[in-house]
Chains A and B, each alone.
Chain A
Amino acid sequence: MELKCNETLPERALHIALKVEGGKCKRGDGAGCAIVSNSATTPGDMTERGCTYAGCRGVVGGPVKDAIQLTHGPIGCAFFSWGYRPHLADTDFHMKYTFVSDMNETNIVFGGEKKLLQSIIEASQEFPEAKAVFVYNTCSTALIGDDGRDVAKQAEAIIGKPVVFFECEGFKGVSQSAGHHVGNETIFRQLVGSADAAGDFSRTINIVGDYNIKNDIRTFEYLFEAIGLKIITRFTGNVSVDDLKIMHKAALNVVHCQRSATYIADMMQEKYQTPYINVTLWGMKHMAQALRDTAAVFGLEAEAEAVIERELAKIKPKIDYYRQRLTGKKVFIYQGGPRTWHWIELLRELGMETHTAATTFGHDDDYEKIFEQLDEGSMMIDNPNVPELEEILTHRRPDLFISGNKEKYLAYKLGVPFVNGHTYDTGPYAGFLGMVNFARDLDKALYAPIWQTLKRRAKPAPAVHHSAHGFEEVL
């Protein structure tokens, strides 16, 4: 379990553990306690982590489909966060457009408040149909002390619609996780409860913490509707500003991503006494359980059972087919946070074993949930960096790696089959129907003929005219 690449980084041992005999935890430093998480990254360790801005603009705020997504800062943050994460909606304004106050050197010296105000007004004039302006703060504008909150207030009075200012400067936390918190807190404070709606809300729910990656939500919202429930607000995949304003009207919050969105469920429980339940909406067992748990709150158990039976029957033959092809395969799951523990059971339903599990920004509760589900002999690792990933892929040699776009080409260069769990090469993967897609992609990744071709025909790199600075010879 000792990773060779960490010989000079002993502190990384605190972030790595094995599940040993008797279900006990053995951490890298020999201790029997849980791994350390949500702590500052070792500088220069080649982390995969992003920043607070990314967690707020990219994950929580970005999917809101009819808000102007305006970054207050220099150009880069806005360019890189534009249109790459497929948090789809039934309209695509939020995917097609990015706005930025475009701070230049003069603005950094003399302050950017005026330019921000002007930017908000201009953006709103160009797109009068937008329902709000979301303004995201960045490192430089936070450091020079721009009072974005005040500018937002002024702008709101001028344009007559909500201007929501997110204090999500990149350096704020140890990972993008801090940005999720800022996103939740700000949307709750400024939008939720700011409008009222009439009608009967006794059988309504919010789906909290699903971002509709490649239309994930479509795979399960019809299931909740089939048992007689109405979805008011989706936080924040395929959501409008108006939906967020009346989010408090729903009778129950159904929380999917319990890292990036429990915050708002907690705040709503405190302020509006809205109860919430935690669910996993991936995999047969968990999806069924989610429907049962939700139905139980409303006394709709019989309806839920009927829906579950009907839907499972639809996918069973396909899942059975894939299970016999996938059984026994060992998987390394590395996701941002909860997806890692959401998927261990799904993979088990397909006969697959998670032999290494990692997250980028998980907290203690995420790792508890992972550890509980792992088999003995499995490894758990927090905030893995590039050399660690490479060593795990090379030496623990999983049959399959489920991770994101950045890690994809590393896996490919090492000849390891890969499924993109962040943005899905195809998808969607949630719900009952999505699980068939997931299984199909796992199968495709594992059985593509290229791996046999590599095994038989790949060759070492030809010698170069200059001597390569080899890893082995240095150590």
Chain B
Amino acid sequence: MSVVVKQSRAVAINPTRSCAPIGAMLANYGIHGAITINHGSQGCATYPRHQMARHFREPVEVASTSLTEKTTVYGGKGNLLAALKNIWERFHPTMIMVCSTCLSETIGDDIPGVIDEFQENHPEITIPILSVKTPSYIGNHTTGFDNFLREIANNLPDRKKKKGETNGKINIIPGWVNPGDIRELKHIVREMGLHGLWLTDYSETLDGGYYEPRLHFARGGTTVEELRSSAKSLATVALQRLVGGEAAHIYERRYGVPAHVLTMPIGLANTDAFVETLTEITDHTIPEALQVERARLLDALVDTHMFTTGLRVGLFGDPDLLEGLVGLVSEMGMTPAYVLTAGENGPWGERMVELTQELGVESEIILKGDLHELHKRIKAKPVDLIIGHSKGKFIADAEQIPLIRMGFPVEDRFGYHRRSVVGYNGAIALVDEITNVVFERKASSVVSNTLVELGVEGPTSSPIILSNGNGNGKH
């Protein structure tokens, strides 16, 4: 049976997570023409911009109120008022999101109050101005994303709704995913013959094309008008429990939009659950195209199982990603030996114990963990693969274990933001990638689609070293 352990060190060494403002900034990028003002030190805007630019390889623009020592003493109100005015006058955004920082929260700036004052003084500015609390000392980057979604759900939808009135759409909250994932989810919804209202959609704003001339605001993103109408949707489907799950419940409580909160759709069963939920909400049946994709995933799992079954995998990252990922890892016959996340979320840990039990695998689930901890465990009892974001490369390099890059950030490779890990297609791509990595790692050569392994277990359990057949005999 799986166990939950909590890392006990006070110092975090090589954390897997970053902080809340970047989550709100990322989510806000999914709204067409929206701009973020970060209320704090300049670094609190510049560091996340830089981080996002390294992951998405796109220009990322976030304004700062540029608080300094003086404004810290006297309060940041003046700077925030000036920033709101300057952003409005120079950009004419469709929406402004103000997110806080350690600095502005600790000095106690009343951001909603300042926004109210600004709107009273500028009745001509009618765009929504949203305040999101994102001090770095609460939660992590996903907390900022989730808080943003809650604020959207609480403040943006138009409450006036006639009985039975709908926009015919389904609110879909993908959570913290990549542009490629959102595009894959859109593909599924489109194939189902449905219309999604995406909360939010940065599939194009953070993975845009080259156009001449450059547009003032990047193409894509959910519009404010769509957000206004989101109270009239048929249902809300949140695809991550901790990022957007609560927002889905807010839609249900405040506007009577039924909430469906699911596990991130990675792998066969998790994707099935998403597709089946869509059929429950509407009376649409599963279309031929998706049935074929699903069958193709099953086929890929069958074709590869001899190479993946029994492998031990170390997983780290955000809780929702891990919850989805153990599904696919188990479907591939692999053991999610270590499942490490930074949060101290006890209920999540318990759910993972149940989930791994259902899946028939045994894991060590590590809460409040960091990468140094994962490294120590891998040294003590090795794994065949590591799955997680780019910072896992230090373990992978040191231990000569392949790293399957997934999550945020992937900053040392190109194009991962364009890939999809969700849906049947995302799973197929992952199955292929993982199997190929196994081929590269374990095989001295591949003959007739079979591995010629580096060594075999002999009767005395001392490995018999095989000649590779390529003449050099070296491993």
Chain A residues near B136 (CB, 8 Å)?
A: 73-77, 140
From 205 to 229 in chain B, residues with beta carbon under 8 angstroms from any chain A beta carbon are 208-217, 219-220, 223, 225
- Could you tell me the distance between the alpha carbons of A150 and B14 in the complex, rounded to whole angstroms? 26
What sequence of 0s and 1s flags, for each residue 424-464 of chain A, a beta carbon within 8 Å of any chain B beta carbon? 00000000000000000000000000000010001111001
Query: Are B137 and A173 closer than 8 Å at their CB atoms?
Result: no
- Could you tell me the distance between the alpha carbons of A454 and B212 in the complex, rounded to whole angstroms? 9
What sequence of 0s and 1s flags, for each residue 58-96 of chain B, a beta carbon within 8 Å of any chain A beta carbon? 111111111111111000000110111111011111100
Contact of B14 among A43, A97, A464 (CB under 8 A): A97
- Could you tell me the distance between the alpha carbons of A96 and B106 in the complex, rounded to whole angstroms? 31
Report which residue of A70, A406, A460 has the largest number of chain B beta carbons within 10 angstroms of its beta carbon. A406
B138 contacts partner chain A, Cβ-Cβ < 8 Å: yes
Contact of A105 among B12, B101, B138 (CB under 8 A): B138
Query: Are A139 and B41 closer than 8 Å at their CB atoms?
Result: yes
In the complex, what residue of chain A is closest to B46 when comparing beta carbons? Answer: A50
In the complex, what residue of chain B is closest to A49 when comparing beta carbons? Answer: B42
Query: Are B69 and A171 closer than 8 Å at their CB atoms?
Result: yes
* A102-B37 in contact given A170-B44, A170-B103, A464-B219 (Cβ < 8 Å): no
From 258 to 290 in chain A, residues with beta carbon under 8 angstroms from any chain B beta carbon are none
Binds B, one of A22-30, A118-126, A211-219, A344-352: A118-126
B17 contacts partner chain A, Cβ-Cβ < 8 Å: yes
Chain B residues near A47 (CB, 8 Å)?
A: 42, 46, 64, 66
Query: Are A77 and B90 closer than 8 Å at their CB atoms?
Result: no
Binds B, one of A158-166, A312-320, A408-416: A408-416
In the complex, what residue of chain A is closest to B13 when comparing beta carbons? Answer: A99
B155 contacts partner chain A, Cβ-Cβ < 8 Å: no
From 101 to 133 in chain A, residues with beta carbon under 8 angstroms from any chain B beta carbon are 101-105, 107-108, 115, 118-120, 122-123, 126
What sequence of 0s and 1s flags, for each residue 343-373 of chain B, a beta carbon within 8 Å of any chain A beta carbon? 0000000000000000000000000000010
Chain A residues near B6 (CB, 8 Å)?
A: none
Contact of A96 among B49, B72, B394 (CB under 8 A): B394
* A50-B216 in contact given A75-B18, A102-B11 (Cβ < 8 Å): no
Question: What interface size band does chain B fall in?
Answer: 35 or more
Chain B residues near A99 (CB, 8 Å)?
A: 11-13
B286 contacts partner chain A, Cβ-Cβ < 8 Å: no
In the complex, what residue of chain A is closest to B63 when comparing beta carbons? Answer: A44
B380 contacts partner chain A, Cβ-Cβ < 8 Å: no
Instruction: Report A47 CB to chain B, min CB distance, Å.
Output: 6
Contact of A44 among B22, B50, B70, B84 (CB under 8 A): B84
A100 contacts partner chain B, Cβ-Cβ < 8 Å: yes
Instruction: Report A86 CB to chain B, min CB distance, Å.
Output: 12
Contact of B46 among A51, A105, A171, A173 (CB under 8 A): A51
- Could you tell me the distance between the alpha carbons of A314 and B217 in the complex, rounded to whole angstroms? 49
- Could you tell me the distance between the alpha carbons of A4 and B67 in the complex, rounded to whole angstroms? 26
B21 contacts partner chain A, Cβ-Cβ < 8 Å: yes
From 26 to 54 in chain A, residues with beta carbon under 8 angstroms from any chain B beta carbon are 40-54
Chain B residues near A408 (CB, 8 Å)?
A: 53
Query: Are A44 and B10 closer than 8 Å at their CB atoms?
Result: no
A296 contacts partner chain B, Cβ-Cβ < 8 Å: no
In the complex, what residue of chain A is closest to B48 when comparing beta carbons? Answer: A80
Query: Are B12 and A387 closer than 8 Å at their CB atoms?
Result: no
Instruction: Report A36 CB to chain B, min CB distance, Å.
Output: 15
Chain B residues near A100 (CB, 8 Å)?
A: 11-12, 15
Instruction: Report B21 CB to chain A, min CB distance, Å.
Output: 7
* A76-B19 in contact given A173-B68, A410-B59, A459-B212 (Cβ < 8 Å): yes
A195 contacts partner chain B, Cβ-Cβ < 8 Å: no
Query: Are B15 and A75 closer than 8 Å at their CB atoms?
Result: yes
Query: Are A40 and B68 closer than 8 Å at their CB atoms?
Result: yes
A203 contacts partner chain B, Cβ-Cβ < 8 Å: no
- Could you tell me the distance between the alpha carbons of A175 and B141 in the complex, rounded to whole angstroms? 24
- Could you tell me the distance between the alpha carbons of A407 and B87 in the complex, rounded to whole angstroms? 19
B40 contacts partner chain A, Cβ-Cβ < 8 Å: yes
In the complex, what residue of chain A is closest to B45 when comparing beta carbons? Answer: A47
Query: Are A468 and B86 closer than 8 Å at their CB atoms?
Result: no
Chain A residues near B22 (CB, 8 Å)?
A: 76
Instruction: Report B316 CB to chain A, min CB distance, Å.
Output: 14
Instruction: Report B91 CB to chain A, min CB distance, Å.
Output: 8
Query: Are B103 and A79 closer than 8 Å at their CB atoms?
Result: no
Chain B residues near A42 (CB, 8 Å)?
A: 66, 82, 86
* A43-B72 in contact given A78-B12, A105-B137, A468-B217 (Cβ < 8 Å): no
B43 contacts partner chain A, Cβ-Cβ < 8 Å: yes
A8 contacts partner chain B, Cβ-Cβ < 8 Å: yes
Query: Are B209 and A461 closer than 8 Å at their CB atoms?
Result: yes
In the complex, what residue of chain B is closest to A6 when comparing beta carbons? Answer: B90
How many A-B residue pairs lie within 8 Å, measured between CB atoms?
272
In the complex, what residue of chain B is closest to A120 when comparing beta carbons? Answer: B11
Query: Are A118 and B11 closer than 8 Å at their CB atoms?
Result: yes
- Could you tell me the distance between the alpha carbons of A470 and B215 in the complex, rounded to whole angstroms? 8
Chain B residues near A412 (CB, 8 Å)?
A: 210
Report which residue of A46, A98, A408, A413 has the largest number of chain B beta carbons within 10 angstroms of its beta carbon. A46
In the complex, what residue of chain A is closest to B67 when comparing beta carbons? Answer: A171
* A459-B46 in contact given A8-B89, A409-B57 (Cβ < 8 Å): no
- Could you tell me the distance between the alpha carbons of A9 and B71 in the complex, rounded to whole angstroms? 20
* A173-B64 in contact given A77-B47, A118-B11, A469-B94 (Cβ < 8 Å): no
Report which residue of B9, B10, B84 has the largest number of chain A beta carbons within 10 angstroms of its beta carbon. B10
Instruction: Report A176 CB to chain B, min CB distance, Å.
Output: 8
Instruction: Report A105 CB to chain B, min CB distance, Å.
Output: 5
Query: Are B80 and A51 closer than 8 Å at their CB atoms?
Result: no
Query: Are B212 and A466 closer than 8 Å at their CB atoms?
Result: no
Contact of A471 among B37, B64, B67, B216 (CB under 8 A): B216
Query: Are A44 and B46 closer than 8 Å at their CB atoms?
Result: no
From 111 to 153 in chain B, residues with beta carbon under 8 angstroms from any chain A beta carbon are 135-138, 140-141
A14 contacts partner chain B, Cβ-Cβ < 8 Å: no
Instruction: Report A100 CB to chain B, min CB distance, Å.
Output: 5
In the complex, what residue of chain B is closest to A472 when comparing beta carbons? Answer: B216
* A143-B107 in contact given A44-B63, A99-B12 (Cβ < 8 Å): yes
* Contacts A50-B42, A54-B47, A139-B41 supplied; 18 other A-B pairs, CB < 8 Å: A9-B86, A40-B70, A42-B86, A43-B82, A50-B46, A51-B41, A76-B18, A76-B44, A98-B14, A104-B138, A107-B137, A108-B102, A118-B10, A122-B10, A140-B102, A409-B60, A454-B210, A469-B94
25 contacts between A and B (CB under 8 A): A8-B89, A41-B42, A43-B82, A44-B63, A52-B41, A74-B137, A79-B19, A80-B43, A82-B14, A84-B50, A98-B14, A100-B12, A101-B10, A102-B12, A102-B15, A103-B137, A108-B135, A122-B11, A126-B372, A140-B103, A171-B69, A406-B53, A413-B214, A471-B216, A474-B92
A-side interface residues toward B, CB under 8 Å? 5, 8-9, 40-54, 70, 73-84, 96-105, 107-108, 115, 118-120, 122-123, 126, 138-140, 143-144, 170-176, 386-387, 390, 405-410, 412-415, 454, 458-461, 464, 466, 468-472, 474
